[in-house]
Structure 1
Amino acid sequence: MIRPHQERPIHLGSPGEEISIQDLQTIKHRFKRLNQLREQRVQDFLLPRQQAFLDVLALLFHCNFPMLPGFISSTTPAGIPEYNPGIRTINAAKQLAKNFNYTRPVSLVYPIEGLFLMGSVGSIAFSKTSDMDIWLCHQSDLLPGAIDELQKKATAIEVWAASLGLEVHFFLMDSKQFRLGENTPISTESSGQTQHYLLLEEFYRTAIYIAGKSPAWWLVPPHEESNYTGYIKHLIDNLFIPEHELIDFGGFDAVPAEEFTSATLWHLYKALHSPHKSLLKLLLMECYASEYPQTGWLCQDIKKAVYQGDFMSADLDPYLLIYQKVERYLQKAHSHGRLALARQCFYLKVMGSSDNTMDSQTRAAREKYMQHIAKLWNWPVSTIENLKYQRLWNIKKATSEHAVIVQQLTQCYRMIMGFARDYVAQNQENSNDLKLIGRKLHAFLEKRPGKIEIITTRSEVYSKESALSIVENRLPDGDDGWALYLKNVQMATAGDFEPIQKCRTLVEILCWLVINGLYSKQLQLQFSSQSLKMPNDEMHSTLTQINHFLTQNFNDDPPLETYQTPKAQLSSLILINMGISDDEALCVMSERSDALSYGMSRECFIQTINRISLSSWGEITSSQGEGIEGLFDSLTDIINNNKKPLSPGGLKFVCHTPARAKGIIFRVEAVFNTLVKLFAKQYHNRAPRYILPGGTSFYVFQSVNQTLGYKKLATKKQLLNELARPQEQFSTIYFDQAVLENTPIQLIYSLNRPQVIQLFYYESKADTTIYIVDERGGLHIQRHNKANPGYLLKQYAVFLESILNRNLFETLLTIEYCEIRKSVAGDFSSNPVQFKATPPNSELNLRITGEATNKGIVYTIYCNEKEFSSLDHGNQVFYAAYQHILQFRNGKVSYPIYITDIDLPFSAFRVDNPEQLQTIHYLNYKQKIEDKFNV
């Protein structure tokens, strides 16, 4: 018995059985009637001026008329088979172009094979904010120039549609290429790079036929779905239907398992920013995967209804079909919590979100529709009423919903990864697209200390809070923590309330508050803390700075290709001394105005550092540090890990310290700019060092293995030892202004050059000081009491030229001599000195040589022609030489002994090869032995 609105069932035989050509035509007409019904629903939903878009859509691609929207040229590919515009279309065209007159094309060549709308446009979920995806199918043999013309026309029509208030996206496609898996088009809801068959299933389920050839899939009966390719071939070969009447996108007779993995990951990716919109599709992917390899496609349900004849009476809404399948799946699995979430997602999709502009008539009709669905599927009585309060969500409700959603996303992720392990080949599981989406999911879902959680439901918050409280509390491990509460809460009463967010640091709370949309200038904030003081103006100023920083710099949804490259920091905001705005120590005045080492007591004004950083993978992280080393830790981390090229604009400083803020910011910006200039790029054969004061200490910055680090030197002596340290390559020294002032060392290093040994001498009333900077920047300092400068230079020159003459170094080095002078004003200057090493014969020639043996170094010391060896004197060899030297002294007068040459194996200098050896090694060894001789 056939029910009202039901037509007779049609059975198309398998190959070898009877197939009625009339039945084939009937199936085509049934599908077209179903599509006309869907198109009319869309038209009914559109505004009158928007309805013209669908009225003339096919006509615009059927002919080229200069006054109609999208006209490019008269040679733009045009013409659609089986299309003849009706009266409504022609009248709509005349409204757009008064002189339009339709003439049937005489050509039998039709470059446009078909036009189809797809996606939510033909479903109950379509809204005024929905977009329209349109497949514009063209012939496979179109030349590239013709395809370009067609794309220009499609783009121009998109612009025209936008003027009507419609968001339209055309996707040019070649059905042959698509069927072969080449050049897969995408929709705004699907990634053609990560799925093919599931996109095809969505097309067959949601597509609205506008004009052109009929999809071949219509004519493959449900029982022959697994034999799709063979059945189409049978129909064409046996002339049941002409091939030129069909457009063939393919079937589901060979769906690979990796499609479910890629599609699920894609919808997980979309769900991070539109969870309710994507969760039903995620659950659908889970249903499909659970049925693999005998998947029950939803589009087949539509096909079965068409073949059975009840397609006009059954509710075949594409979005309802998703919900029904998910409902059955979750009921069978007894997943009541997930089922409640699925119902919520379906309701929100149909009824729209809080910012929806749905008119009252449409809203009333959809509310009635939802009541019908709830009754049909036996929803709890209170479900609809509870879901209506979606528009009244506050941040507490949104946060709790976010937790539920993240749990579901995580469960879906684990499910599909398990499916991939069971069904997907390893090379497919590790494909590039899956890797990128996996990185995106991990970056968003991973929880770690300091990372700011972005709630997926923040856009659903309708009721914004006017008052919040930030309260310091004690964590179970004894550390301080912070909590955010609704309304007015104090530390003393905080235990009686449930916080909406808890974090270890204050900056995390502030950042979470801003990024999740809770901050506004009108927000009243109660601050309760023992360790920090935050006046209301400082609190709002800090929040304003954070809000501006995130608004200007943060992208919460980076393009997928961003995850192709390793994660890198993009920009940072550093808050200095946040909540420490009334420290009396910062009010002391002094002529020494360096904020890092202020006054006679060398006070550092940097007390705390709070940093917010943004990554290229859409993450927000925070960190906290103490004092100047907390600042330097942040600066070096930015230099090392920020995306290159790095510029000073990648970092912003904020400080609210009264009377000192500008000076502090100016100082730390100058330090950072210097670090960027010196270390943001890697230089070949150059390892600069930057030295600046911090408190009572000094800090040396240098890159080692392309990583910038720093070391603390507590005293001036440690600093000089650092300057004397051998270097692997030439190291230019950059001194901060307040380092080693009242010494000529800054002047000396300003003249330093690679491959040059520079000897400077400075004569004062009491002594003469020798400064030697070697070919790699190592500094040797030696003070000589009551010494004749000329005699000293002669001794050093003999020594330096002796070691150079043996060609111990890889390249030929030169020696320069300079005199340092000091003006009355205390300024140092340098003057070159012309000097040659020609020691008189009467001088003592003291050479120290040695060779390496299994038992250590065997020394041989030559005092003029006298030889002293470890073989004769053992470990007393230096003492024996010293006793011999004393014989040359007149009346046992004590005067310095100077070594004229050193020729020792590498092990004596604790190096392994000649490339490591530099002049500073010899100078340090020379001084060590001379100190023993000159006791």
Structure 2
Amino acid sequence: MRSVEITHDPISTSLDRDTVAQVKVRFLALNDQRFQQAKQHLSSRQQQCLELLPLLLHFNHPRLPGYQSKATPCGFSNYSPTNQQLQAAKSLAKGFKANTSQARKPPLLALYVMGSTGTIAQSHKSDMDFWLCHSAEIPQSALAELEKKCAALTQWAKDFELDWHFFLMQPEAFSQGEHGELSKEGSGSSQHFLLLDEFYRSAILLAGQIPLWWFITTTEKNAYRKAKDSMIEKGFLRPHEWLDFGPVGDVPPSEFVSAAIWQLYKSITSPFKSLLKLLILEVYLSKYPRVFTLSDRMKMFVYAGQFNTTSLDPYLMLLNELSSYFIERKEFERLELMRQCFYFKLQRSFQSLEKDKRAVELLRAIEQWQWQPISFAHLDASSSWNAQQVMNERRSVINELTASYKSLLDMARHSQPSINVNSQEITVLGRKLHAAFSRTTGKIELINPNISNDILAKFVVLLWDTAAGNWQLYLTNGRWEKSRSPMNVSSNIAELFCWGLLNNIIDINTRIKIQGNLNLTAPEVSYLVNLFSNLELDRYLSPTHTAFTQPAQLSFVAVLTNDPTFLQRDNRLNEKSFELDPLNTSDGSLVKNFSVLSINSWAEVRVQKIGEKLEDLLHWLVGQATTNATVQVRNLSLQSAALIEQRLKLLCDTLLQHTGRHTPEKDAHHLFVTLADEKFLLVHFDHGWQVSSFGSSSDLWQALSQPAPNYRSLTVDPACHHHKLIRASGLTPLTELSSNSIQILFRIDGASAHVYCKDERGSLFYFEQAFHDQDALLKPLHHFLRAVLHRNPIRGAQPMFGIFPIEFYEVLERAETLKLERRHATSAIGNMRLFDLQFCIESLDLALAPSQWQLSAWLNGEAIAPDTGAGLFHTVARTILSHRQSGQRYPCYITDLDLSLCEHQLPHFDQLQTSHYLKLKFQLERALNHALKSL
């Protein structure tokens, strides 16, 4: 293109060769001014890095920073490095020689830097966002190499204290609505047009092709396409000179909502910058559908002859647009808050602006605010604000952020009632917002989003309000004069310490004074500070982007016991060093209350009270998704701390292992039993994990005997094995049993036998009967079980040689430990002079006594009809007694039981279990033997 003299005269918006040439030189002049302004905020070495960046991407040389491989795409269209860039490259990489031969179609199209770079908002802390535009013909494998190179250049820039972010952009795909994935830095598809608006008004071209958008004045999509086709047809620009991201106009209402959600997310770490962007969205939407964006306004000024950085600074334009909007609406409080956010975004003091000759226009705009010097001084000192000031500022900004978002949502729905933004990206952003801003009981709120550098308090008062039943945390001074209002209030002392430590308000050097509660002593305060400081929570507070694509899962749990607030001084816990289990001492449990500190995969931190009983804690643990969580235990009182922590940690680990973690069988539902305060606690599965409490072993056995859909194993808390109640219950040996047989355990106690039966699905049944000898105990039982298996074959079982195993074990005590020894018994009872006694239950109601069931009975194959006026049990007892030569009334036992007629009246799953037969056999025998004794 021929040399064109730049002018400041208004130019026509019609397309012709002279207009295109004048537009190009004006935008390039503005571009060069911004680039020079950008470098003024950088050190000489940083300037050199920025100037050298296009060359580093243009060439692949092993000695240049960022080099990955020969396969990495390189080479810009419409770019030749300057002599200055070449000399810098040679000084950086000895032996570097520029390869002047260029591909016919270079894979890289352009490199831009956008955002605050080159604007009045740029500071030494500003990061740089680069759009690296590439051809659509680059294969995915080569793009991966290019991404690696950009990552390496990002690391290289850090050595010069530069914060670089690269975004690989394919213009054609972007213009058609295709975007990169949502990430921590990338907004994905949540703000297509509005991101483009920011790009067009702030981007500085560093290398390659110029945006076609500069040359087309219309904002309507169809008109934009026609103008583009006309330019291409007439050849006003050569193909290698331009690229196209499309127009900014016709922003759909749904994008205002999705972009607002993105800005709310960004406000978590950059609240002032995000609020400014959220407010400009509100301005745009208020003019819908005739939205005239700031980039459109900037282009209009360039065409009118104004193309210097002073009048077209993107942030000054933003300030003027927002000021006009709030003044017109007479929303002066919002105007002041906007100005405050703008001032914070500058990250420069008023005094420095007064001394900066380049800031004349900015200073003139700020002076129109008519602020008092004290206002500037207050904001300039924000880096040293205390926690109360930071908290007040954050509250104001967050309130405005949420109010602005609601206003945008109302406007968008009014513009398009059927608006729908339920994409996965919006779901992810919504989760991030929920994690950052939602307020729930016990949730720890982080109050300092990069406002102050240090909000650590030297002095803090913790006041217990007896009437309200809560702790109040106040900032104070060396004279212990409290602030007017408390910083935080909670009934849970752990929540206040956790809140203070995570917000860096409290540390080990903070002096803390307790008022209103004598239970919390100075040594315990120091102990609590150290306790929470040593939890090392930081590792759980930086969630990955991927974590938000899934529902939140617990990643860390600290069980907190014995809040000293509620432990009366005259009734403090006594160390029970001679007792192994602090949950079961002679004085009861040493643990009086439970709380939980939890962190989930979204980095939400909560401290919540659980209750005063161990079953409350167990219920919470099994009700949460704690499978992959790290679990710790901390005792908040100095008394018995180590003993309690060790005991509860073992309990928690064992419990979680058997309720989901490392489950050996996919469909197994495990039973877990522990003991606390002389009560049995059973963790079991019933439409979700449940915890039940039982005051006696008989009640526990009733629960253990319930039918199960699949095999379930039993685990007894190992710390309880030696407790007298656990030993008496007979549970411990049952934990050693397997799932491939019916197993019977018996323990002889003088003239009695304690019998424990585990059926094919792990249901457990216990009964006691008189003991004469081993055969008399085992053979009838074995005979009965074989009859049951004949009537009720176990579905899905893999029997050995056609016979499902039945195993017998005797429980023996050896050196204060219980041992199992295998015993063998046949089912042959012919030589035992036993009667063949069969029962059939035709109908039953488990709430009624067996005498009220409908029954049939046979003795040695002959049916027994009940005598007139006597029940069936008395008739059967009399018949049995008539067959006994001795006439003795010793117990009799059922040898077979038919439940086919009453099966539908029994609780079961796909079929009856052996335990059904055993339980009903025992009930019938008890009724029968009672009748026998009464004769």
- Shared fold (TM-score, shorter chain, > 0.5): yes
Residues 504 and 370 of structure 1: CA distance in aligned 2, closer, same or farther (over 3 Å): farther
1:440 CA drift (Å): 1.9
Alignment of 1:604 with 2:589, yes or no, is: yes
Mapped to 1, the partners of 2:431 and 2:151 lie a distance apart of 33
Letter in 2 for 1:126: Q
Question: In structure 2, how many angstroms separate the alpha carbons of the residues matched to 1:830 and 1:920?
Answer: 23
User: Could you list the per-position Cα deviations for residues 838-878 of structure 1 after superposition, in whole angstroms to 9, with x for gaps in the alignment?
Assistant: 235954333222434999964222234553447x8588333
C-alpha displacement of 1:302: 1.1
Q: Which residue of 2 aligns with 1:698?
A: 680
Shifted more, 418-427 versus 897-906: the winner is 418-427
Q: Give, as a single letter, the amino acid of the residue that structure 1 aligns with 2:12.
A: H
CA-CA distance at 1:41 after TM superposition = 0.7
Question: Partner residue of 2:215?
Answer: 219
- Pick from 507, 515, 525: which aligns with 1:539? 525
The CA deviation at 1:488 is 6.5
5 Å matches for 1:335-354?
A: 335-352=331-348
Displacement of 1:180: 2.3
Which of the numbers 392, 398, 403 marks the counterpart of 2:395?
403
* Aligned partner letter, 1:848: F
Question: In the alignment, residue 446 of structure 1 is paired with which amino acid?
Answer: S
Say yes or no: does 1:576 pair with 2:561: yes
Which residue of structure 1 lines up, in the alignment, with residue 710 of structure 2?
Answer: 729
Q: Within 2, Cα distance between the matches of 1:926 and 1:185? A: 66
Q: Work out whether 1:8 is the aligned partner of 2:4.
A: no
Say whether residues 1:484 and 2:470 are aligned partners: no
Q: CA deviation at 1:93?
A: 4.5
**CA shift in 2, pair 1:757/1:392, >3 Å:** closer
Q: CA deviation at 1:703?
A: 2.8
1:673 to 636, 643, 653: 653
Q: Say if 2:914 is the partner of 1:932.
A: no
- The DSSP-based 3-state class of the residue aligned with 1:337 is helix
Alignment-mate amino acid for residue 450 of structure 1: G
Provide the residue aligned with 2:284 in structure 1. Answer: 288
1:800 corresponds to: 785
| Greater displacement, 194-203 / 710-719 | 710-719
Distance 1:392 1:431 in 2: 41
Verify the 8 A CA contact 1:850 1:859 in the aligned structure 2: yes
Q: CA deviation at 1:165?
A: 2.3
AA aligned opposite 1:7: H
The one-letter amino acid paired with 2:681 is Y
Corresponding residue for residue 631 of structure 2? 651
2-side partners of 1:784 and 1:144: how far apart? 77
Q: Partner of 2:233 in structure 1?
A: 237
**Partner SS, residue 120 of structure 1:** coil
- Selected match of 2:165 from 163, 169, 180: 169
Match in the other structure for 1:553: 539
Pick the aligned partner of 2:761 from 763, 776, 782: 776
Q: Distance in 1 between matches of 2:169 and 2:215?
A: 21
8 A contact 1:63–1:79 mirrored in 2: yes
Distance 1:64 1:780 in 2: 77
Seen in structure 2, the aligned counterparts of structure 1 residues 28 and 283 have a Cα distance that, compared at 3 Å, is same
CA separation of 1:889/1:344 partners in 2, compared to 1, >3 Å: closer, same or farther? same
Contact 1:279 1:345 (8 Å CA) reproduced: yes
Deviation of 1:385 (Å): 4.3
Distance 1:113 1:103 in 2: 18
User: For 1:738, which of 719, 722, 725 is the aligned residue?
Assistant: 722
Alignment of 1:92-491 (within 5 A): 92-93=88-89, 95-96=91-92, 110-142=106-138, 147=143, 150-151=146-147, 153-184=149-180, 190-221=186-217, 227-312=223-308, 315-352=311-348, 371-376=363-368, 383-423=375-415, 428-457=420-449, 459-460=451-452, 462=454, 464-474=456-466, 480-487=469-476
Letter in 2 for 1:920: S
Change beyond 3 A, Cα 1:167–1:761? closer
Please say if residues 702 and 709 of structure 1, whose CA atoms lie closer than 8 Å, have aligned partners that are also in contact. yes
1:634 equivalenced with 2:620 (yes/no): no
Question: 1:882 and 1:684, CA in 2 relative to 1: closer, same or farther beyond 3 A?
Answer: same
| In 1, Cα distance between equivalents of 2:602 and 2:169 | 32
Higher mean C-alpha displacement, 890-899 vs 619-628 = 890-899
Moved more, 237-246 or 19-28: 237-246
Q: Is the 8 A contact 2:746 2:755 kept in 1?
A: yes
Deviation at 1:694, TM superposition (A): 0.5
Change (3 A) 1:618 1:903: same
CA distance in 2 between partners of 1:321 and 1:307 (Å): 16
Give how far 1:470 is off: 1.1
Aligned pair in 2 of structure 1 residues 911, 56: CA closer, same or farther (>3 Å)? same
Partner residue of 1:512? 499
Q: Distance in 1 between matches of 2:515 and 2:911?
A: 59
Q: Is the 8 A contact 1:906 1:913 kept in 2?
A: no
**Mapped pair 1:899 → 2:885:** no
CA distance in 1, matches of 2:102, 2:650: 76
- Taking the aligned partners of 1:804 and 1:534, their CA distance within structure 2 comes to 64
Letter in 2 for 1:838: I
1:23 is paired with a residue whose SS is helix
Counterpart of 1:52 in structure 2 is 48
Residue 753 of structure 1 deviates from its aligned partner by: 3.2
Secondary structure of the structure 2 residue equivalent to 1:114 = strand
Matched with 2:487 is: 500
State the Cα RMSD in Å: 3.7
Which letter maps to 2:632? K
One-letter amino acid matched to 1:501: N
Structure 1 residues 743 and 114, CA gap change in structure 2 (3 angstroms): closer
Question: Do the aligned residues in 1 keep the contact of 2:470 with 2:491 (CA within 8 Å)?
Answer: yes
**CA displacement 1:106-136 (0-9 Å, x = unmatched):** 7765444322221111211111121222222
Separation (CA, whole Å) in 1 of partners of 2:277 and 2:11: 31
The letter of the residue matching 2:550 is T
Amino acid at match of 1:642: A
Shift of the 266–234 alpha-carbon distance from structure 1 to 2, 3 Å rule, reads same
> What residue identity is the alignment partner of 2:474?
Y
Aligned length: 906
TM-score (norm 1): 0.87
Query: Separation in 1 of the partners of 2:844 and 2:921?
Result: 22
- Do the aligned residues in 2 keep the contact of 1:10 with 1:307 (CA within 8 Å)? yes
Question: Conserved in 1, the CA contact under 8 Å of 2:115 and 2:203?
Answer: yes
CA drift at 1:788 = 4.5
Q: What TM-score does the superposition give when structure 2 sets the normalisation length?
A: 0.87
CA displacement at 1:223 relative to structure 2? 8.0
Deviation of the 1:183 alpha carbon: 4.2
Instruction: Kindly provide the amino acid, as one letter, of the partner of residue 895 in structure 2.
Output: T
Relative to structure 1, is the Cα distance of residues 473 and 182 closer, same or farther in structure 2, using a 3 angstrom cutoff?
same
Superposition deviation, residue 732 in structure 1: 2.4
Out of 636, 639, 642, the residue aligned to residue 662 of structure 1 is 642
Tell me how far apart the structure 2 counterparts of residues 753 and 97 of structure 1 sit (CA, whole Å). Answer: 70
Contact 1:483 1:503 in 2 (8 A): yes
Equivalent residue number for residue 689 of structure 2: 708
Partner of 2:902, secondary structure, is helix
Counterpart residue identity of residue 804, structure 1: L
| Distance in 2, Cα, partners of 1:760 & 1:91 | 89
Q: Which moved more, 1:377-386 or 1:225-234?
A: 377-386
* Cα distance in 2 between the residues matched to 1:110 and 1:822: 85
Which residue of 2 is the match for residue 16 of structure 1? Answer: none
User: What amino acid maps onto 1:472 in structure 2?
Assistant: W
**2:800 match:** none
* Counterpart pick for 2:598 among 613, 616, 621: 613
User: CA 1:185–1:46 in 2, change beyond 3 Å: closer, same or farther?
Assistant: farther
Could you tell me whether the CA contact under 8 Å between 2:744 and 2:808 is conserved in 1?
A: yes
